[in-house]
Amino acid sequence: MSTHFVPENLPTHIQHFINGKFVDSINGATFDVLDPVTNKTYATAAAGQKEDIDAAVAAAREAFVNGPWPKMKPRERARILNKIADAVEAQESRLAEMETFDTGLPITQAKGQALRAAENFRFFADLIVAQFDDAMKVPGSQINYVNRKPIGVAGLITPWNTPFMLESWKLAPALATGNTVVLKPAEFTPLSASLWADIFTEAGVPAGVFNLVNGLGEEAGDALVKHPEVPLISFTGETTTGQTIFRNAAEHLKGLSMELGGKSPCVIFADADLDAAIDSALFGVFSLNGERCTAGSRILVERPVYDEFCERYAARAKTIVVGDPHDPKTQVGALVHPEHFKKVASYVEIGKTEGRLLAGGGRPEGLEEGNYIAPTVFADVAPDARIFQEEIFGPVVAITPFDTEAEALELANNTKYGLAAYIWTSDLTRAHNFAQNTEAGMVWLNSHNVRDLRTPFGGVKASGLGHEGGYRSIDFYTDQQAVHITLGKVHTPKFGTDDAAKVDG
């Protein structure tokens, strides 16, 4: 096997970034960071505790109250956001190498994530310059206008799948709208997050506007969620963690935006373009190592094409290239961490009792080390099976037949989740009606997940709370204050006088 690629200038210790400076935890705590190909520790990271979060929030609060950032004109902030995007694009290759090394994502897919991160900053730079607020008039009587204001310190908690891109998704709108931030990246993947500090500083982001605290969810994340001076929490991650955050945010009535788990259906009708559907359904669950919240991990196929679909899909799944994430030929790399590998491997074993194994089923031959699982396909999976109902978050797919459109809709909606759905049919009327009756925050017709940044992103049911994306992100990160101006004489009942009895209505 080829020598495992290690990026140049890899840090051996990853620090927090608070008030413009790299610092260790106040109590000196650290945790180990593993490389998923060898599962060896390549670095330690500062493990943030409550006192580190307190220091970061204090810096962010000071930068918000007394610093220039919230008071800058939108164009000034937009210029800095565009410099950030330029810097991300300029080091795209290095970012991709580090992301691949840290997460196990194939290098070709990591490169796309860096460019998407840059585009998030450009998009919100454009949006805040073009932003205008509503005004409502009653001629001769009243004008009402909406004054948008940044809210304060935003707490951003991000996951380990495509971490750099998902961090940009929160950082860009939070900063664009004039808030200051404390970012708590996932403990499995702190490497690429550590790059933001220098990128922001060189772009001209003032000290204290961006703060980064590494650490475990139950320590650093918990302290951030409970901090009384953090009015906003944006979280992407697993549903049970989201429920904990919801409970802990209640005391201070925080604004919450949560994009949680998914078990998205990919529904294939007999009249679909089967070649395109197979391409898309393969990419939709096996790209990003299957570690994607919007994965179409339940494939529902109409009976007349079911056998052909299963046979062709499984044959293709067996030829997917699994291997070293840094090899450009690799299509599925190593899962992020041994803990996650164990979880996905246990679902593969459960699947062998719940469905007919058509491809994969465990570790690929020749890859004895590292967190590798072959693309795994189960057919004839019953709707109450665990692999049909539970989020696996790996390269594992369940295929189930259906006979009628009504049955397909029932199967599509038959989980606690409701993030995405994918529908394949050439019948336009059916496509729209089925899409609108599907319990999902986002639906793609005859396509995998190709998203316009202007559209709302979010789920229903156990898949989330609120939406981000486009103006929905601006709405989340700002307060909309209504200001009322009277233009004419106002009739006011005169309490405490004889005229008080003349109150209208």
Strand pairing category for 442-445 and 420-424: parallel
Among residues 83, 136, 11, the alpha carbon closest in space to that of 480 is found at 136
Dihedral of alpha carbons 271, 275, 279, 281, sign: positive
- Residue of 259, 302, 391, 439 marked catalytic: 259
Any catalytic annotation for residue 259? Answer: yes
Contacts of 163 (CB under 8 A, 6+ apart): 99, 102, 103, 185, 186, 189, 192, 193
216 close to 188: Cβ distance less than 8 angstroms: no
348 close to 373: Cβ distance less than 8 angstroms: yes
Q: What is the DSSP string of 290-317?
A: G--TT---EEEEEHHHHHHHHHHHHHHH
Give the Cβ contact number of residue 452 at 10 Å.
7
- What interhelical angle do 92-103 and 163-176 show, nearest 10? 120
- Token pair, residue 51, equals 């006192």
Distance between CA atoms of residues 333 and 393, nearest Å: 14
Give the Cβ contact number of residue 85 at 10 Å.
24
Contacts of 231 (CB under 8 A, 6+ apart): 151, 152, 153, 252, 254, 255
Give the Cβ contact number of residue 12 at 10 Å.
9
Among residues 443, 450, 417, 457, the alpha carbon closest in space to that of 170 is found at 457
What is the DSSP secondary structure assignment for residue 117, as one 8-state letter? H
326 to each of 187, 255, 318, 339, how far by Cα in Å? Answer: 22, 40, 21, 22
Among residues 200, 84, 105, 209, the alpha carbon closest in space to that of 160 is found at 105
- Token pair, residue 375, equals 């693309």
Active site residue ranges: 259
